[in-house]
Amino acid sequence: MVRISSDKADIDVDAVVSYLQNESYWAGHRSREQIERSIDHSLCYSVFSDDKFVGFARLVTDQVTVTYLCDFFILTAYQRKGIGSEALKLMMADERVSGTLWMLFTQTAHELYGRFGFVQDPGMIKRVMFRHRPNS
């Protein structure tokens, strides 16, 4: 049984830091302090399977217009068991963010996200701009 919690007290911060620094392709450069601060300033979900912490997701959102899904992972030993799909379904149903425009940046799992309505929009490329962080 998959369960999510948005109570920050339920986050296994050590597991999140370990995964992001050592297993993710996107956050290996982040310090523990940066990860903890990002958690403090985001809507976060702990993912549980049979009451064991198995994943995490962080949403950067105003809870009205836009939601950026980031740092979403399922621990390697629990991947490919439908846990990520169930967790995403539960997160997207959260009334605080269910009516917002969702976005994400990913190199993997396009099929998973596609099942939830995420699309690659070539037309958006011309409208999306970035300002990179200093020293990145």
pTM score, two decimals?
0.90
Which residues are within 8 A (CB) of 43 and not within 5 positions of it... i.e. 6 or more apart?
A: 6, 58, 59, 60, 61, 63, 96, 97
Classify residue 102 as left (phi > 0), alpha (psi -120 to 50) or beta.
Answer: beta
- What is the distance between the alpha carbons of residues 61 and 104, in angstroms, rounded to a whole number? 12
Domain ranges of the chain: 2-125
Give 56-110 pLDDT, tens digit per residue: 999 999 999 999 999 999 999 999 999 999 999 999 999 999 999 999 988 888 8
**Homologous superfamily of the 2-125 domain (CATH):** Gcn5-related N-acetyltransferase (GNAT) (3.40.630.30)
Q: What is the pLDDT of residues 7-51, one digit of tens each?
A: 999 999 999 999 999 999 999 999 999 999 999 999 999 999 999
Q: State residue 20's pLDDT score.
A: 98
**Helices 32-40 & 13-22 angle (0-180, nearest 10):** 120
d(CA 20, CA 134): 21
> What torsion do the CA atoms of 52, 58, 86, 73 make, to the nearest 10 degrees?
-70
What pLDDT sits at residue 136? 55
